[in-house]
Structure 1
Amino acid sequence: MKKIIISFVALLSIGTIACTDSFDKLNTDPNNPTSISPQYLLPYAIEKSVDRYWGGNVRFERLNIDGAMLWIQYLSRNIYSNEGDNYGITPTFYNNTWKSFYTDGLVNYQRVISQSKADGKLPNTNYEGIALVMRSWTFSLLTDLYGPIPYKEAIKGTADAPIYNPAYDSQEVVYAGILADLKEANEKLKVGGPAVSGDILYNGDILKWKKFANSLRIRLANRQAAKKPAESKAILAEILGNAATYPVFTSNDDNAVLKNTDSRPSNNEWHEVMVIGSRTDWSMSKTLVDKLLGLKDSRLSVFATSVKGSYEGIPNGLPDAIATTYLSSASTLGSYFTKASSPSVLMTYSELMLDLAEAAIDGDISGDAAAYFKTGITASHAQFGATLASDYITSLGAVSKEKILDQKWIALFGQGVEAWTEYRRTGFPVMPAKDPRAVFENNGIIPTRLPFPTTEYSLNKTKLDAGIGILGTDNMQTKLWWTEK
């Protein structure tokens, strides 16, 4: 089961027990534990953080389908354009995204680490390594969404010396910490080591966790390469130069995905919203449809439904009165993504290959950019069960950074948050001119980040102000640290 429900049963004491030397032992209730073991904490944290990242099913809180998937022009709204498509969001959107990643995800990953480390209650290097990977992934999402965040002093409210008002760290500091933690995670993870249960991502396959740790490290090293070239080149060289010590994804079988099920509540979040909830508010974006039609890309038939044998998208940001006129003709999201058992994707082999293609063309590694490019495109088609036309790759022409990032944008379909981050970092793909009928907030600028939560303004104002000082301005137009243009 993907979903884990942890409940506590209160004990009602009847009568009295005399004070004896065995008082503590007599008053320990085996049915009411004071701590939860990693086998229960881990799946809860994974499910909560992945669901929040992939979509969420609560209106006004859907990070992916009411935010990133619209801003990166995969989807468009055919009604309620003010719910993300016009770049407007509610405080609930950014407040609860922050809260969920910290309290449902990070707090529980940290509990697993504390229990599993050598001096913890339940030492187990594999639990510790897995939780380090997932903690790193979650911190990377937070800093890529908001910019400076509480990092070094975060999630220490229950520590021996608790910190209730954590300081903010710059993205540069957060990235340095995450990259170090992922290297440590690879060292902690021992193939053939102690068993783990409750692993709903890789079912206890430690080699795949090592591959995810190192592949994620490559993603983040590549993402910061324009700002810290020497360090990033060293990280990439270390990983790629020693496959035995630093294994990475080698096929789609290694993809980091949460395998959902046909049964509620373990179903895919998009299925919950669009099928169970009967929400039909989204159509395909004209930007994506036109791009794939122009390339004669077979992945379009997976991503979208055809209407009378053809595909049409809606321009982003149209007012409802105009957007609704497309309802009978616009393509909608393909069933590959709306089935109950559709996977929630964290990272893929295709993305890794396209990251390496970019690193090669930038001169950060010595590999063949064209070979990585071809492998990434081939893997993406295979991942989605689409047929790769024999002339598709040659028809793209000479490999360039823009073409690599265009293909990464296509390959990341569904992973709106990652695609949005790559666009904010590089400016690719180049988006078409806005439809003249569209109406946007945010001065018409595709959002560059999420605002800090209102709770931080009320509960952690002094530290927040220092964080804003690092960033510059707390709005949705401020560029983040890794921005290249």
Structure 2
Amino acid sequence: MNRLYKSTIAILLLTFGTITSCTNDFEEINTDPNNPVSISPSLLLPNAIQVVVDRYWGHSTRYQRLNIDAAMCWIQHLSRNIYINAEGDSYEIPLTISSGTWNSIYNESLINFERIKVLSETGADFENANYKGIAMTMQSFAFAYLTDVFGPIPYSEALKGTAEEAINSPKYDSMEEVYAGILADLMEANDLLSTSGPAVVGDILFNGDIMKWKRFTNSLALRIANRQAAKKPAESRAIMTQILSDPIKYPVIESNDQAAELIHFDVIGSRNKMFDVFSTRSDWNISTTLIEKLLDLDDERISVYAQPLADGSYAGLPNGLTDAAAGTFNASRIGLKYLDPTAPSVLMTYAEVEFIKAEAALEGDITGDASEFLESAIKASFSQQGLTMPSDYMSRIGGVTKESIMTQKWIALFGQGVEAWNEYRRTGYPVMPAPHPNSVFSNDGVLPTRIEYPTSEYSLNKTNLDDGVSKLGGSDNMRTPLWWVE
């Protein structure tokens, strides 16, 4: 009995010890290394950047290419020679452009920037103010993109689906409210970004160069402030003056090598999306509107934007022609620079910053000589294309006016069709020529003023969508003007 009792006690002690050991190690044993509970911001950042850049510059999936199929045609940088009625040039677009833009930016980009902010804030697992500043800048860029193409959007409640008090049906904020939030976030982002702060990994835009991030942040604030200047002049002047009067605290893009652009590599998945599209299909030409303007100015940028015909000349294709009518034209295709798989996707350039200054100086929103800023902008655009501006070029543009500034900005924004479309809708420049007699346009013949909300919002968030449409100030169609129209 004594021997049996001792044996039983020994077994129980051994079992208890084993259970205690397993309990102490339970969390470690049952943690799946392939599904970590907390993920580093460096792993979220690359794809979050890639998604919004691709959507802005030239997404490669057919029926989802807002920039290539729609905006670049609407703004008459490009024209279509086939599929004209189906893919944008006739002012008609498939619903997938709307849904693809909306869903990808919210679900694959904005939500991941929000996670980066949470993971990198003070006291968090990956505390790093530079990550948070980068995420705030890219969120601002993405929200600006969405509000500039749709109008009122879910903003203040948009990313709270996983919050402690989850919001799964977010309200719509007016464009004025979205712009105010963006500008506040950009000013905070500039304060967070520090060249003496901790390094960041996974930055595919600037490779961890925090000074370039600060320059992009403040240049983007100039873009937003200038765009709303006609509606909120006092606030916009204050912001632009604050930034431009203190270049140490608020550096901006001051050269082409500081531009915000994503460099690509010649491997599948990383290539320039315009290459993916234009190198395999030939249904785009350069618009007659752009070709004729460049020829009128004897502007050498035509040799970069367009390929010459067999005889060395350049010719454009009018926008909105039927397929049959378009087939009778011999027109230039897009320049070889844009058929390079490593060509960059451009978000913001030195030229654009100088154009903003030129317009703001002309309007009296900042101090400075509008003519000098305009000349600097045009020089930067030529240099960006590997060219030198002719010494007499300023005499060709007809003086320094709102129209000449915005027309030159339109030329310089080639490739950034969404941005050029924003500026045309805001200012009405450049003045577009009368349509070709054989052109046929949808949308009541009105160059689109916005794109319609995705159908998913009508089924999933109808009440808030209706409120958003009321803030839009018109119907959910492609003819209602946006808030910042001058």
TM, length-normalised to structure 2:
0.94
Is 1:269 the equivalent of 2:270? no
Cα distance change on mapping 1:176 and 1:309 into 2, 3 Å: same
Q: Which residue of 2 aligns with 1:374?
A: 375
Q: Which residue of 2 aligns with 1:8?
A: none
Stretch of structure 1 that moved more, 378-387 or 180-189: 378-387
Of structures 1 and 2, the larger Rg is shown by 2
Q: Which residue of 2 aligns with 1:62?
A: 65
**Residue 25 of structure 1: CA displacement?**
2.8
- 1:336-363 per-residue CA deviation (whole Å, 9 max, x = no partner) reads 1111001000000000000110000001
AA aligned opposite 1:295: L
Cα distance change on mapping 1:17 and 1:280 into 2, 3 Å: farther
> In the alignment, is the contact (CA less than 8 A) between 2:398 and 2:404 conserved in 1?
no
**Residue 90 of structure 1: CA displacement?**
1.0
- 1:103-126 per-residue CA deviation (whole Å, 9 max, x = no partner) reads 111011111111011132210000
- Which whole-Å CA distance do the structure 2 matches of 1:49 and 1:102 have between them? 9
> In the alignment, is the contact (CA less than 8 A) between 1:259 and 1:342 conserved in 2?
yes
- 1:373-395 per-residue CA deviation (whole Å, 9 max, x = no partner) reads 00000000000112321211122
**Residue 454 of structure 1: CA displacement?**
0.2
Q: Which residue of 1 aligns with 2:113?
A: 109
- 1:209-253 per-residue CA deviation (whole Å, 9 max, x = no partner) reads 000000000010000000000000000110011111000111001
Q: How many residues align?
A: 465
Please, which of 39, 43, 47 is the counterpart of residue 44 of structure 1? 47
Q: Hey, which bits of structure 1, 4+ residues long, moved more than 4 A?
A: 16-19
Q: Which residue of 2 aligns with 1:195?
A: 199
Q: Which residue of 2 aligns with 1:79?
A: 82
**For 1:270-349, what aligned pairs fall within 5 Å after superposition?**
270-275=274-279, 278-307=280-309, 308-326=311-329, 329-349=330-350
> In the alignment, is the contact (CA less than 8 A) between 1:116 and 1:128 conserved in 2?
yes
Stretch of structure 1 that moved more, 115-124 or 424-433: 115-124
AA aligned opposite 1:478: T
The secondary structure found in structure 2 opposite 1:20 is helix
The secondary structure found in structure 2 opposite 1:325 is coil
**Residue 35 of structure 1: CA displacement?**
3.5
The secondary structure found in structure 1 opposite 2:347 is strand
- Which whole-Å CA distance do the structure 1 matches of 2:124 and 2:165 have between them? 17
The secondary structure found in structure 1 opposite 2:346 is strand
- Which whole-Å CA distance do the structure 2 matches of 1:437 and 1:18 have between them? 82
Q: Which residue of 2 aligns with 1:439?
A: 440
- Which whole-Å CA distance do the structure 2 matches of 1:208 and 1:341 have between them? 21
- Which whole-Å CA distance do the structure 1 matches of 2:248 and 2:314 have between them? 46
- Which whole-Å CA distance do the structure 1 matches of 2:96 and 2:245 have between them? 45
Cα distance change on mapping 1:80 and 1:207 into 2, 3 Å: same
> In the alignment, is the contact (CA less than 8 A) between 1:302 and 1:386 conserved in 2?
no
How big is the alpha-carbon RMSD for the aligned residues of Structure 1 and Structure 2? 1.3
Q: Which residue of 1 aligns with 2:210?
A: 206
**Residue 17 of structure 1: CA displacement?**
12
> In the alignment, is the contact (CA less than 8 A) between 2:379 and 2:388 conserved in 1?
no
- Which whole-Å CA distance do the structure 1 matches of 2:66 and 2:270 have between them? 19
The secondary structure found in structure 1 opposite 2:328 is helix
- 1:445-480 per-residue CA deviation (whole Å, 9 max, x = no partner) reads 000001000000000000000001111210000000
- Which whole-Å CA distance do the structure 2 matches of 1:160 and 1:121 have between them? 18
Q: Which residue of 1 aligns with 2:9?
A: none
**Residue 39 of structure 1: CA displacement?**
0.8
Identity %: 57
**Residue 18 of structure 1: CA displacement?**
9.4
Structure 1 spans left out of the alignment, 5+ residues: 1-15
- Which whole-Å CA distance do the structure 1 matches of 2:430 and 2:269 have between them? 36
> In the alignment, is the contact (CA less than 8 A) between 1:60 and 1:90 conserved in 2?
yes
- Which whole-Å CA distance do the structure 2 matches of 1:73 and 1:481 have between them? 23
